[in-house]
Amino acid sequence: MNLDELYIGLISGTSMDAIDCALVSFAEDQPRLIASRIHPLDEDLRTGILALCDGKAVPASEVGRLDARMGSAFAGATCALLEEQGIPAGRIRAIGSHGQTVWHEPDGDPSFSMQLGDPNRIAEATGICTVADFRRRDMAAGGQGAPLAPLLHRACFMPDTGRRGIVNIGGIANLTVLSADEPCMAFDTGPGNLLLDYWTAKHRGEPFDRGGSWAAGGKCSQSLLESMLGDAYFRAPPPKSTGRELFNAAWLERHFVAATLTPADVQASLAELTAATIAEAARRFGPLDDLHVCGGGSHNAFLLERLSANLPGCAIATTRALGMDPDMVEAVCFAWLAKQALESNYLETGCFTGAGHPVVLGGIFPGGKGG
């Protein structure tokens, strides 16, 4: 194996369930996942970050502390993975670290996207060159700064024939449509798991609805579903991206019309919202031949069942069928993006994010120690 071609990808997504850490080899044409780790996040760090995401007034000193602590957490995840695998840090060419999004405002004036997780700390603690801050150059070039995972989908999952969908169901869901004969398209379809997680935590005291079994026992409310589907985000044309700033507890509560719904019925309606909005997004591009799911939502059997019901004639599988662990696609993407940055490759993000021209994404923080 070419020793220069090992990279690490790091991300803590919108769900804030854990840090995903992927060790990736680029010795061959396509990135190959060698090992991975789902690294726990300290509960009080998560609580501090959530306050920012909820738009609470947080002093700059606390934002600075959270940025530093999140950087140390990413470094800790990397060191733990390398130790588990018995791989010295010196063998890793670079880390690609997405950071933790705390605010994403692509349509603001000016637009901005803010990720925490100080890359200086990652580079210092691991000694490995760290690439971070992937979204803001795209925004500066007029793009949404998101979604970026479609860049990897296009590089790795392009079908020889037909029209293929890749959907990442994380906190937010994003769909990529790939076809050898048409331009690729991608955008955030809306909520993935984040409202399902919120409702499960509120009513069951658990972080998520395992396998979707709670939702499966409820009955989707057409009036709640229609009210939620009425949100202008779903009708807006791409490019578009979203996050907790829009889809949050207050958003859900605004749509409660009937007081008679049981919590399980609301959960079933939320699962249907995720499935229906992904399916509707897919239909905009004509029928899909197949749809491959990645992200934590790929473990939700009920959600996959509802996706199938909403997309008759489309074969549904996870990205495992394409050779990539569905839990690690996003983390592999940031390893891949780190490599692109080191090679100063201009990336065609325009059809996904709306950027006005190709861009090199990411800032480089060298590893090693002087003196």
Question: Which residues fall within 8 angstroms of residue 19, CB to CB, at 6 or more apart?
Answer: 10, 11, 12, 38, 39, 40, 41, 73, 74, 77
**Residue for token pair 């950071």:** 99
Tell me the closest approach of the beta carbon of residue 101 to Mg ion, in angstroms.
Answer: 11
Question: Which residues fall within 8 angstroms of residue 197, CB to CB, at 6 or more apart?
Answer: 15, 171, 207, 208, 209
Segment interacting with ligand ATP, rule: CB under 6 A, options 111-119, 166-174, 249-257, 283-291: 166-174
Segment interacting with ligand ATP, rule: CB under 6 A, options 14-22, 57-65, 152-160, 182-190: 14-22
Residue number, 13 or 143, with CB nearest to Mg ion: 13
- Using CB under 5 A, pick the residue from 17, 67, 272, 327 that binds Mg ion: 17
- Using CB under 6 A, pick the residue from 78, 113, 126, 168 that binds ligand ATP: 168
Orientation of helix 194-204 relative to helix 263-283, angle to 10°: 170
15 binds ligand ATP (CB under 6 A): yes
b vs e for 48-87, b when ≥16 Cβ sit within 10 Å of the residue's Cβ?
bbeebbeeeebeeeeeeebbebbbbbbbbbbbebbeeeeb
Note whether 136 and 361 are within 8 A (CB): no
242 binds ligand ATP (CB under 6 A): no
Stated as kind and residue range, the H or E segment containing 214 is: helix 213-216
Tell me the closest approach of the beta carbon of residue 207 to ligand ATP, in angstroms.
Answer: 6
- Using CB under 6 A, pick the residue from 31, 119, 296, 362 that binds ligand ATP: 296
- Please give the structure tokens belonging to residue 9: 């990808």
Segment interacting with Mg ion, rule: CB under 5 A, options 9-17, 222-230, 240-248, 353-361: 9-17
Tell me the closest approach of the beta carbon of residue 297 to ligand ATP, in angstroms.
Answer: 6
- Please give the structure tokens belonging to residue 331: 């983390």
* Rg (the chain; Cα; Å): 20
Q: Tell me the site size for Mg ion, rule CB under 5 A.
A: 3
Residue number, 124 or 188, with CB nearest to ligand ATP: 188
270 binds ligand ATP (CB under 6 A): no
* Binding footprint of ligand ATP on the chain (CB under 6 A): 11, 13-15, 17, 168, 170-172, 193, 196-197, 208-212, 295-297, 299-300, 330
